[in-house]
Amino acid sequence: MEQKHTQQPSAAFIGASWMALLIGVAAYLIGLGNAEMELNEKGYYFTVLMFGLFAAISVQKAVRDQLEGIPVTSLYYGIAWFSTILSIILLTVGLWNADMEKSEKGFYAMSFVLSIFSAIAVQKNTRDMKAFKGQEEPKDREADRS
């Protein structure tokens, strides 16, 4: 079996990914908190964000697992993609029909996209760091034995 070597992500990329995720989610939530809409509408947009984040991370995991030869069922892979697309459609339909300014709709759309994209990057970095640390352990153990 061929050993794959994972490159450790840079601290700058890790930091930028986390900052983008925190900024995107915080902006979206602050916007919801300040919005003049019913609580059930706020709940809808909050749920769509959480669903989208989970779905995007699931897609990243499924795609990465397949690339690394880790078995992924077609059902899980399909559901992950379907859920990601569905979260985007749900946000689009919600914003399309919302009674708010176009600038506010754009704000929610952009903070949603920023959050989804950065969640994928954070998941990738987390997985790369774990794989990189796994590659380093045998060298550390050999040094301890000598």
Residues in CB range of 107: below 8 A, 6 or more apart: 27, 31
Amino acid 60: pLDDT: 93
Residue 17 scores a pLDDT above 90: yes
Amino acid 131: pLDDT: 80
Amino acid 1: pLDDT: 44
Q: How many domains does the chain have?
A: 1
Structural domain includes residue 74: yes
Residue 88 scores a pLDDT above 50: yes
- Does the CA dihedral 131-133-139-141 come out positive or negative? negative
Nearest to 57 by CA among 135, 130, 125: 125
Tokens of 48: 């769509």
The CA-atom distances, in angstroms, between 125 and each of 38, 77, 102, 107, 120 are 37, 21, 34, 27, 9
Residues of the chain above pLDDT 90, percent: 74
**What domain range includes position 115?**
13-135
pTM beyond 0.85: no
CA atoms of 85 and 72, how far apart (whole Å): 19
Structural domain includes residue 5: no
Residues in CB range of 72: below 8 A, 6 or more apart: 62, 65, 66
CA angle at 43 for the pair 42 and 49, rounded to the nearest 5°: 90
Structural domain includes residue 67: yes
Residues in CB range of 57: below 8 A, 6 or more apart: 119, 120, 123
Q: How confident is the model at residue 33 (pLDDT cuts 50, 70, 90)?
A: very high
CA atoms of 30 and 37, how far apart (whole Å): 13
Q: How confident is the model at residue 87 (pLDDT cuts 50, 70, 90)?
A: very high
**26-35, 58-67, 109-118, 129-138: least confidently modelled range:** 129-138
Q: How confident is the model at residue 73 (pLDDT cuts 50, 70, 90)?
A: very high
Residues in CB range of 14: below 8 A, 6 or more apart: 125, 129
DSSP classification of residue 68: T
Residue 123 scores a pLDDT above 80: yes
Structural domain includes residue 142: no
